[in-house]
Each structure stands twice: as C-alpha cells, then as structure tokens.
Structure 1
Amino acid sequence: MVKAMPYQSHGLLLDMDGVIYRGNQLIPGADEFVAELISKQIPFLFLTNNSQRTQRDVATKVRRMGIPVEDHHVYTCAMATASFLADRKPHGTAYVIGEGGLHNALHDVGYSIVESHPDYVVVGEGRTFTMEMLERACNLVIGGAKLIATNMDPNCPTQFGLRPGCGAIVAMIESATGIKAFSVGKPSPIMMRAARKELHLTADETTIIGDTMETDILGGVQLGYHTVLVLSGGTQKSDLKQFAFQPDLIVDSIAEIDLEMLLNEPKALATVYA
C-alpha cells in the first residue's frame, strides 16, 4: 500500500514558457492547475531562465493571463545569479550585458554596475547589446574580471521565431577570450537548489515540471527531484530517445496532470502517462 504524501510536505517548481504559456498565450488548463495549487496551499515557484524581466514584471504578466499569483511565486535566473555573487563577494561590482531584470536583481543585493575594473562580467539575455559592449566585456575578462552567465540557453523563443539567447552571447566572449563562463541558471544546481530551499523542502519533496530535457528535467534528475515533462513546449516525445536520462512522468500539457496523484506518489505514475 502506497503511503499518501501530505500536501504540505511536497511542492512544485514550474517552468514558464512552454508550460504555463507560449509567448503571450496561456496554455489551456494552466490557470486551473495553478489555482488548485493556491487553493490547496501547495508551495510552488515559477522558475525562468529569462533574466530580462524583474520578479514583479514576470508576476504581472502571469496575473494578466488570469492567474492570481504574487511576486514571491517567481524566481528568475537573474535573482539566482545575484544571490550567488552576493554570497561570494558581498557589495561587489559588475559590468553587465543584460536588461532590467538583471540590473535590478544585482542592485537588490548591493551590487554596483560599473564600466571599468569590475569584479565580474555578468551576461544575460538582451535585445540591445552591441559589438562595443562585447568588446568591452572581452577586454574586462582578459583583464581579470570573472565571467558569469545567467544561463546557457542558446536561444529564446519569440513570436517571430528564435532570438540568440544568453548562451549564444556568452559563446562569443568565450571564443574570443578562451575563458569559459560560469553559469548559474537552470540546469545549474545553484538555481535549482536555491529554489527548493525557498520552499523549505527536501529533494524528495520537490517536483519540477518543465518542457525542456536539457534544462528543467536534467536539473531535476541531477538533484534527485521528481520530474514531469510536458509536451506543450519545445520537446516532442520522439526526442526522448536522444537522452540517457528520462523524466518520471510525460504528459501532453499541465492540464493532464492529476495533482492529487502527483503529490501522493509521483514516481508511481510513470506507467500511467508514459
């Protein structure tokens, strides 16, 4: 007989794009799923590798889609990066390639953003970076600044197709300098573990739901979380044969997840959804 897991002893980490919405369109059933989490007081966090938006901006976007979340339900790779740097060097300095979400996260932990002699060169997503910024970043890294990436995603999906992501921008600096960046965002255990700790859960009490094998599922597997892959984003079921690791559950979308069963015994559902 399977012992039921009390809700308060289990929580969820939810990827956003491809799980909750696609671009600016809510995925059907996502609002009802999150509403159930809120009504049953199940702890959860939205995790995003997008460093452009602030925590509040992301929460506002979700609220405008009809999901009544609070700012504290959002954890971004910019926040994880800022926290990591503040732990290593309190009140440090950074030269930043990125946008408002990254700038604000660094300011919130007491960092100063500078143009010369920084402790770190921090790279996030951005639509406004220039070759002059890349040139400065390269010279600062060669001069001794440590190279940090908010994430290594090679591209970002947009309504028009793909835009080069943080990983693509960082790759130019790495290639030019011969120095590899340290990445903090998913699937890094730094962000994944920090998010779990925000919910005050153990690894076995945590389930991550995502649409990408290389980030959400890989990170969850590495840390011993329960993992659910949704096929509503960037992964097709036929893609799974490429990977040596597998998710515990596979569903077409978040709307198909039986929340009560998932929280009680997630690994037991693999044969139901696979």
Structure 2
Amino acid sequence: MTDKLGFLIDMDGVIYKGSQLIPGADVFIDRLKREDHPFLFLTNNSQRTRRDVAMKLKRMGIDVGEEHIFTCAMATARFLSKQKPNGTAYVIGEGGLLQALHQNGYSIVDSDPDYVVVGEGRTVTAESLEAATRMILSGAKLVATNIDPNCPTAGGTRPGCGAVVAFLETATGKKAASVGKPSPVMMRAARKQLGLATSETVVIGDTMETDIFGGVQMGYQTVLALSGGTRFDDLVNYAFSPDSIIDSVADLASPEVNLREKFGLAAAGEDLMPAVNEWEEMRLATT
C-alpha cells in the first residue's frame, strides 16, 4: 500500500456544471488540502490562463492557487519547447494558449511558422483557417491542444478545438499531433509536476473518452464521477472500465472513506475492474 497519494481532477462535470458548484466538491477539495494529498485540476480548455481558472474556482468557493491548475495550453507549450526550443507558432486560440507559449520561449508569428497551433476559442475566422491551411501545406506542423469535438457553454454546445482541427486535417491531408487529454503527453506531465509515481496517481473525471481513457493508458487508477456527461448505462459502449465509480466527489469527502486505503490497495495490485458490477449492486440496493 502506497503512503503517498495524489489526484488529477477534471473540472467541468466533476467540480462544477456550467456555473454551479457540484454539491460536496468544495468539501472534497478541502479534505485533500487538509490531509496533504497533492492534486491538480486538469482542463482541456486552453482559453483561460491558470490565474483565470483559479479565480473561477475561488468564486465558487474553492480556494486554490495557480499551482493547482494544469491546462492543455501549458502541456502543449512545454511539449513544443522540448521539440523545438524558441520556435515560432501561428495560433488559432486565445489568451491562455498565447501566454503559455510566450512563457515557454515561443514567438507568435503571422507567416512561416514552425507550427500551426490550434486551441479553444471563439475567434476562428475563414481568414485564419485559410492562412493556417497555406502554412501547413508550406511545411508548418499542425498541433492541437486537444481534439474535443465540441464544448459546453452557458448558451449551449459550440464547436470545439477538435472541429477546427478536423477542418485543417481535411483541407491539408496532414494529421495533427494532439497534446491534451487523453494524450499521454499531458497525463504524464501532470503526474510529474506533482512528483508522483504511477501507482500513487488517481484520475477523477466524468468523461470516458478523455479523463478515464487517459488514465487507463498511463496505468493510473481511474474514478468515474457520474455527476457530468457520462451515464452508467453508457459504460457498455466502451472496451475499458474505470477502477471505481462514484455518484460525485462528495462520495470521497467524508472522513469515513479512507482514501489511502481505498486507492492504496489498488496501487498494490488489487483487482478493482468489477467496479461496474459493484456500483450497480449498490445502486439497486438503494432504489
């Protein structure tokens, strides 16, 4: 059983839905801080800076600093700085991505870039897509902060980064490299930032395709929260399973739940794959 335990936590659908805090999420995060469990909030939204994300959480009652935020923009910028230090990029995206690239030594240019980098945003225009297409065909590499096809907003669903990337891939015949969840690039970088071993890392998310699949690929323990976009009945559609299933993170907030014992046992090799059946039995017993 491992003594150290850390968490990589999705936000939308796990901590909040839209602008509403999910009941018990603040209590769970307070518990992690009180018991000295290292944690990061992981997001595939590259629009906001770390400070902006931390402020949003603070206004909802979760007091965390920038050091607790890990965005796909950060992962992308760090990845590019290792691939080609002090390179150049043409960016389709907003402030969070631009700041992350600048902080990692990249210059933003309008011609002859090393990379075309696509992130979340509402500033996509026909002109920017046309310019990006020409640059990719001229040799620039296409990089996506994530490949989520859409994203929820207060006014409904809008096209996401993946939709823009699909346009460029179709127009150029070039395949994008994606860095955000579920890419091992982001999942590994977040773990290393916390200084954790694989066996000490727990991923909590509400989306099978990103959070859970990303954790499964890396060998992390995975917890599916049914407070977001995934329903229990959806699990039959996937060839992989989470290690644990919870209604929401409120289930982990109580001191009666020993986190080190619950997740430490899995790290020591206990088979938790029957979690789906276990959760269904519990659900039927309470209905």
Q: TM-score, normalised by structure 1?
A: 0.95
Aligned to 2:131: 136
Distance 2:165 2:258 in 1: 38
Hey, what does 2:241 align to over in structure 1?
Answer: 246
Aligned partner of 1:265: which letter? L
Residue 86 of structure 1 pairs with residue 107 of structure 2: no
Cα 1:34–1:132 change in 2 (3 A) is: same
RMSD: 1.3
TM-score (norm 2): 0.91
SS of aligned partner of 1:41:
coil
C-alpha distance in 1 between matches for 2:250 and 2:21: 12
Query: Which string of whole-angstrom CA distances, capped at 9 and with x for unpartnered residues, describes residues 46-102 of structure 1?
Result: 000000000111011111111111110000000000000000111100000000000
- Does the 8 Å contact 2:46/2:73 carry over to 1? yes
Question: Which residue does 2:53 correspond to in 1?
Answer: 58
Pair 1:264-2:252 in alignment: no
What is the rounded CA distance, in whole Å, between the counterparts of 1:268 and 1:59 in structure 2? 36
Within 1, Cα distance between the matches of 2:121 and 2:244?
A: 34
1:233 to 228, 233, 246: 228
Gaps of 5+ in 2: 281-287
Alignment-mate amino acid for residue 62 of structure 1 = L
Identity of aligned residues (%): 63
Q: What residue ranges of structure 1 are gaps of 5+ in the alignment?
A: none
Offset from partner CA, 1:92-129 (integer Å, 9 cap, x none) = 00000000000000000010000000000000011111
Q: Is 2:21 the counterpart of 1:26?
A: yes
Q: In the alignment, is the contact (CA less than 8 A) between 2:221 and 2:263 conserved in 1?
A: no
Q: Which amino acid aligns with 1:92?
A: G
Who is 2:285 aligned against? none
Letter in 2 for 1:56: R
Give 1:11's match in structure 2, choosing from 3, 6, 13: 6
User: 1:145 maps to what in 2?
Assistant: 140
User: Per the alignment, in what secondary structure is the counterpart of residue 163 of structure 1?
Assistant: strand
Superposed, 1:60-139 pairs within 5 Å as: 60-139=55-134
8 Å CA contact 2:81–2:87 kept in 1: the answer is yes
Runs of 4+ that moved beyond 6 A: none
Q: 1:35 to 1:259 in 2, by over 3 A?
A: farther
The equivalent of 1:206 in structure 2 is 201
Cα separation, 2, equivalents of 1:110 and 1:65: 33
Q: 2:196 aligns to what SS in structure 1? A: coil
The 3-state SS of whatever aligns with 1:63 is helix
> Offset of 1:268 from its aligned partner?
6.4
Counterparts of 1:178 and 1:131, CA distance in 2: 18
